[in-house]
Structure 1
């Protein structure tokens, strides 16, 4: 069976944790990663990587001194991500709520970037709020949190956390088209 069909089947079965039925396009990945300065990055954290569409884009661009840590709670996607053999990749079958504790266990104090594909609009508000606050806390100064969504419903919440340091773009070349939030910690 093709990887796209497997993604579709798993996404339909677990829509409440995947939030989509198609993998992210390369155009969406490029827009989501636009703020990332790959040349001097130590740690990138990816939340909700699914089958690894964006993960693979990150791994193509990272330098030898960079580590990528992915948080994926869907067991099937977690198993799929473990098949990506890359020495700079750590995949955790842990909720993004535990981001701070988990990166500390791995020996990191802060992340340079947090890249999120989490379906925030369908995650319970208390959990999504915890995830966003924890992501802000572990980001270094001048770090970025990037998030894509299919609606503008989280714009206000992100502005509560990141203040006026939230910019918005739209990627038409994705199915479905998506909004990309780029949030700087300043």
Structure 2
């Protein structure tokens, strides 16, 4: 059984500067961090394009916010009535992000609309309550079966027609493939098959972001399309 979600634990340390904090965690937990630097502002703006549409208030879920590079951009475009739930498995990142939200001017107008939870995606349950999901999960670091489960949980959490926006580093699987052992090649093939099938069926938009380290592609999928009668 997964531990209960935590949202009220206070940070017991003064946060490090974002990049230092990020790199420290990457060294110890690369499989769940999946990046070498925080997302650039250009990537953050691109992935938040989903929110810049004519719409009613939304319940928004951010999965894997890390130190908050994308969370800050989401906060800029939150509208009255919107809510943002950010769920982060790395407790150090979550504590850092909570401190940022409570103390930084970028969050002054919207901090009461944001909650940060510590836990796994599946801890949220299966109620379809979210109008949009923005994900920073490092799909390319996981086993194929886990990637399949992630997409399944996304579906269970999203309302019909709700967009999922996520990013992956540009052509990363193809670039890694020639240089890894057979077991890793097998894992990459499995991940590619699962992700490519979801993209083929449900992608509505893709945008390359060159101003990021490494360059990335932002994908938007509608996993629960609205049925047309």
TM range (shorter): 0.7 to 0.9
Offset at residue 87 of structure 1 (A): 1.0
Partner of 1:93: 118
TM-score by length of 2: 0.71
1:82-126 Cα distance to aligned partner (Å, 9 max, x none): 21121111111111123335xx5xxxx421111011001112322
Indicate if the aligned counterparts of 1:38 and 1:61 stay in contact, CA closer than 8 A. no
Instruction: Report which stretch shifted further, 30-39 or 152-161.
Output: 152-161
Distance 1:82 1:38, change over 3 A: farther
Give the Å deviation of 1:34: 1.3
Superposed counterparts of 1:1-186, under 5 Å: 2-36=17-51, 37=53, 39-83=55-99, 84-85=101-102, 86-101=111-126, 109-152=128-171, 156-158=193-195, 160-161=197-198, 164-166=201-203, 167-184=205-222, 185-186=224-225
User: What runs of 5+ residues in structure 2 fail to find an aligned partner?
Assistant: 1-15, 103-110, 174-190
CA contact (8 A) 1:7 1:23 kept: yes
Q: Secondary structure at the match of 2:161?
A: strand
Work out whether residues 99 and 135 of structure 1, in 8 Å CA contact, stay in contact via their aligned partners in 2: no
- Larger strand proportion, structure 1 or 2? 1
Query: Structure 2 CA distance, aligned partners of 1:92 and 1:73?
Result: 8
CA shift, 1:155, in A, is: 6.3
Tell me how far apart the structure 2 counterparts of residues 136 and 158 of structure 1 sit (CA, whole Å). 14
Q: Displacement of 1:129 after TM fit?
A: 1.6
Q: CA deviation at 1:157?
A: 2.5
Check 1:164–1:128 CA distance in 2 against 1; reply closer, same or farther (3 A cut).
closer
Give the aligned CA root-mean-square deviation in angstroms. Answer: 2.1
Q: Which has the higher helix share?
A: 2
Aligned length: 180
Distance 1:64 1:158 in 2: 34
Give the distance between the partners of 1:144 and 1:57, measured in 2 at CA.
17
